[in-house]
Structure 1
């Protein structure tokens, strides 16, 4: 995220009211509470979207607003918290206005807007009266807004609309005060809001939530595949802005979404026509690699920090294993952000949308989902078991034996993703395969992490001028990683 941008969680209630309806005395909401003196503001906002309002369809609003206490650019998006939205703000004094939307915000909606152009779609003027609500300790817990709104749609055929509404927004309160305020304001004459946002009302439509296609009672293989593709496409798009900001676990989850998308295309090769699925699968592979470069360095850095926390490590070793890895990680992040801004990536998202909306059927498309899913899981499980049996052909801890463990890990991951793609069918036998494969992937994933890290430690020791103490600590780190890896392999071998 740009240093000029700051994000918060907006939790509020919204109500329709008759114009001129007097507001109730809100001091009774909180025991021993009080309300502040009402403050009046004139807010003037311009809302931006594409001509086909793709942001609104995705329940996202982008505006430039002056007046009040928070003038600037605001991007509001859905949140996983009930009755809340994520709000990203950029102040006017942080980013000078040059006639366009700040890059700090366009990057955040790139996966939604793609090749579209952001243009003004509505202007909204609000006469707002704000009253703060304080608890018995004098802490501001909420603000109550009385709004008289005048909105003009700038879209073709748009018009002017006027209405009155109330908003009750948490500042430092909790769900209890929200629940109490909802009943309190309804008793005063407020009604459930007819629209989720001012913009939706301004442009004369109620944006619909974007859902993945629902499975029918007796789904075909195509129904299952399209439903899964849509779910993971949505996850990919949702994690895109978070990954750009390097939010915790975001790059990892975006890579998982890309991998699961590709797994569906490869696990069900006869459900979609190969000529439609194969190019997308290859692009997803490349996207996964870009995300993987960042994720692998992220894991490497976290591991090094944990290892060194238990050592009296000299500064030259910390500089290499922590400071140096941070530099490598930042470079990988920069490359990832560039990749996510290319026409190639945006085309991939468009191609995914097209495949989901207009799938090209393969020979298995109309077969029952339960039959095709069972065959796909059985095939992936068979490949996994074959790799496991192949382990017996090599001497324990030999190079070939270790390489076979890596093959088992990759096939376990494929089996897990294939089994997880069938979760909507609720078949216990398929779930059992996924659970078993996940256990294998977990244990051998730890082993793979230690192998990668030991190789990195070896390279550092051999190619970097270090003090004798640093070499001594490197040896200790390597021994600890070897022990951790052997423990993980031992846990894997106990599974059977």
Structure 2
């Protein structure tokens, strides 16, 4: 499973005040930069608030995962609009999105690590004692996420940061059309992905950091294409499909690399060290296998 799997953009439910899109319309190339931001941000914020409220009383791993993805999509959107929002305002919002995403992701990370340990157990590279310890770590992650993500605070923060952003955009670019701006931001994201892919493809086996950089750049580009597809030239459905395929391979590698790092950094007082070591060795072998597959896919897009 990909820790950062796809999350379809929900349909907008409401629009911010002062929205200038014609009633009942979708995005068009004549939409303004400011109105497009409101149109795109509103459903993502609604999803994040809904997930945060639900997770205050439940421990659904997929819910935590989708909350993390929502914050990552907001990061991409704020990056896209950063030329008009300003560097400082963008950095402050993005930093909080990153923090909330990390807190939300702890439960999902332990779910994936636990699944991998179960697979190791089937290969006799782990035992139930370690699998049970991972379940306990998962329970601790749930408690931490619920304590740190208070739905009323998340809702207040998101409403505030987006209202500030909307006010800024209305004052700076309320009459500027979206198309040229969106195409330029997509081009920059494409350039970044191409640069990172080529760097990762230089060696026969890419370094973990290089693959991680490709993965992040690919996600940003895919999010922007999903956001801006109605207003930019050319059909990008094939590109999104290709990016999703590459991300799946990179996600499989990331799952096991992240799980290995998670288990290495954790303490398992009740589990014999040789058991943990054997599981880590199994994960290491699986990681290299998935790294080779991910590297081949990255070399293909770099070319």
**Structure 2: where are the runs of 5+ without partners?**
1-9
Distance 1:364 1:392, change over 3 A: farther
Between the aligned partners of 2:48 and 2:151, the Cα distance in structure 1 is 16
Distance 1:492 1:461, change over 3 A: farther
Q: RMSD value over aligned CA atoms?
A: 3.4
After superposition, residues 352-431 of structure 1 pair within 5 angstroms as 352=161, 354-355=163-164, 358-361=167-170, 363-393=172-202, 395-397=203-205, 401-425=207-231, 427-431=233-237
State the Cα distance separating 1:459 from its structure 2 match: 6.4
State the Cα distance separating 1:488 from its structure 2 match: 3.4
Conserved in 1, the CA contact under 8 Å of 2:215 and 2:250? yes
> How many residues are paired up?
281
Q: Secondary structure at the match of 1:271?
A: helix
**Alignment pair present for 1:289 and 2:102:** yes
State the Cα distance separating 1:373 from its structure 2 match: 0.7
**Alignment pair present for 1:272 and 2:81:** no
Distance 1:269 1:426, change over 3 A: closer
Between the aligned partners of 1:465 and 1:358, the Cα distance in structure 2 is 57
Q: Secondary structure at the match of 2:175?
A: coil
Partner of 1:156: none
Conserved in 2, the CA contact under 8 Å of 1:243 and 1:250? yes
Distance 1:238 1:458, change over 3 A: closer
**Alignment pair present for 1:331 and 2:140:** yes
Distance 1:430 1:221, change over 3 A: farther
Partner of 1:350: 159
Partner of 1:444: 250
Distance 1:477 1:295, change over 3 A: closer
State the Cα distance separating 1:331 from its structure 2 match: 1.5
Conserved in 1, the CA contact under 8 Å of 2:61 and 2:108? no
**Alignment pair present for 1:340 and 2:146:** no
Correspondent of 2:32 among 217, 220, 223: 220
Conserved in 2, the CA contact under 8 Å of 1:261 and 1:284? yes
Between the aligned partners of 1:471 and 1:282, the Cα distance in structure 2 is 35
State the Cα distance separating 1:304 from its structure 2 match: 2.2
After superposition, residues 183-332 of structure 1 pair within 5 angstroms as 210-212=13-15, 215=26, 217=28, 218-244=30-56, 245-274=58-87, 276-308=89-121, 310-312=122-124, 317-320=127-130, 322-332=131-141
Distance 1:365 1:375, change over 3 A: farther
TM-score normalised to the size of structure 2?
A: 0.77
After superposition, residues 71-150 of structure 1 pair within 5 angstroms as none
Max Rg structure: 1
Conserved in 1, the CA contact under 8 Å of 2:197 and 2:298? no
TM-score normalised to the size of structure 1?
A: 0.50
Please state which structure has a larger fraction of its residues in helix.
2
